[in-house]
Chains A and B, each alone.
Chain A
Amino acid sequence: MIRLSVPARQALAKLTLPLLFVASFGVILLGKVDTMVADRARISLGDTLAPIYAALAMPIEQGRWAVVQFTDFWGSSAENARLRAENDALRRWQTVALALDAENQRLKAELHWVPTAAPAYVTARVVADDGGVYAKAVLLSVGPNHFIHKGQIALDERGLVGRVTDVGARSARVLLITDLNSRIPVVLEGSRARAIMVGTNGPRPRLIYWSDAAPKEGDRVVTSGEANALPPDLPVGVVHYSADHVPEVVPAALLHQLEVVRIFEYGLGIVPPDGGRPPFHSG
């Protein structure tokens, strides 16, 4: 320790804040000049935190479950009635779906259809909202010997969630379809018209550049295999017109309460810039 006189120490204390402002501008410059440094720092921080969050997940889950139990207690009879009605409707749809599936199989058999291989997937726990205010992403906790790589597709039980953008040793980051930087080629299932779905950081991404007629309210939106960046016909959501007549997509995936996602290996044409694909066993 260097011993300083009292006035010198006071002067130094006064200088700390301005010096730190200068240092923060240095950090800004560094972040602008070399984005890799910041990204690497974020990934290693994610790697460190992912196991901690994974350990915290259990009590958080229990707390949330208790809250859900409590709120379900009120209005459970109304919920039961609604569920019964929905169950009846779903049962009718199940009959239709089974009949259509059987017919589909028959038609495929007659056409000598080449079946697409079932993709391999791994399941990972969402441990943190890794987006903050100006990005929409989630952090996944994955084991140390994972086979996750950039560009893989994340789905929850209902639909498309996003794509893997960063991979660390114990964590992976998935950019959600609602992020400002997300651009997904989609097909409107009713008209087979193509469009691009653009994230806005809001809960509902927008549709732009649609071909043919304007998208219809309630039309189902699925992915397009066009650019070979995504497999075709993954469920994305439903078209909904906002108050100012902009066609938006209500995502099928529960993006605001993701707990577990599946990361699919579709073996797509776009090879990640990081090089080779790790061995990914199907089954």
Chain B
Amino acid sequence: MPAPDADRSPGIRPRPTLRRQLDAAARQSFPIGSTVALMLLGNAPLGGPALLPAVTITSVFFWSLYRPGAMPPPAVFLLGLLLDLLGWLPMGDGIVVLLLVHGFCVRWRRSLARQGFLIVWLVFVGFAVVAAALIWAIAALLLFRLLPIGPAMFQAMLTAALYPAFAILLTAAYRTVADPERA
């Protein structure tokens, strides 16, 4: 698993030319950009189940845990707004849930980021279940109607089950294109 806080290491740095600065900016914005791209792709009609909430929660969880500097709270807020608009959720539903995911990730990352893959996955299953339940509860509250629980449970399972595949992809990105050290 990637080590947190790799961007604060001391040492001699190369001269910040324009190309290098652009490169660094691209690497810095990769987590947000890739999350938006995944959300748009998750919304495309691939004939499968609705992937949008699953990819959003997974991506926000991963980057909040391993590189919170590149996933600041205002960006999480905007991603939540995008989730609400794209997913036709009641306004604010996705924002609250993503901010909670981000907040708890940042709070627990000191101990969590050091753990192995299995432990992180288990914790993520908890996150997925609570996030799906919260999205369901807030939507039911805002629409003032009891929504079927089936889709929420399916959503939680889908989110939890997709994590290993996403973790492999995002870890590879973390080590290569999103690594500021390589700029």
Contacts and interface: CB of A to CB of B under 8 A. Distances in A.
Interface in A56-114: 56, 60, 64
A32 B142 contact: yes
Interface stretch (B17-25, B26-34, B95-103, B164-172): B95-103
Contacts of B40: 49, 52
Given A49-B40, A60-B46, A24 B92 contact: yes
B71 interface: no
Interface in B47-63: 47, 50, 52-53
A24 B101 CA distance: 14
Contacts of B73: 16-17, 20
Contacts of B147: 134, 180, 201
Contacts of B80: 24
A133 B155 contact: yes
A134 B151 contact: yes
Nearest to B42: A129
B151 A133 contact: yes
Interface of B is mostly: helix
B88 A20 contact: no
Contacts of B46: 60, 64
B103 to A, nearest CB: 5
A74 B89 CA distance: 41
Interface residues of B, number: 43
Given A17-B73, A20-B73, A53-B44, A27 B95 contact: yes
B50, B103, B150: most-surrounded residue (chain A CB, <10 A): B50
Nearest to B155: A133
A38 B151 contact: no
Given A200-B148, A201-B148, A30 B91 contact: yes
B74 interface: yes
A42 B90 CA distance: 11
B44 A127 contact: yes
B78 to A, nearest CB: 10
Given A49-B40, A256-B47, A202 B150 contact: yes
Nearest to A35: B91
B95 A24 contact: yes
A138 interface: yes
Nearest to A125: B45
Given A25-B96, A31-B142, 12 more contacts: A16-B72, A17-B73, A27-B81, A42-B88, A45-B86, A52-B40, A56-B44, A128-B44, A128-B45, A180-B145, A257-B47, A259-B45
Q: Which 4 A-B pairs have the closest CB atoms?
A: A31-B91, A28-B92, A132-B87, A24-B95
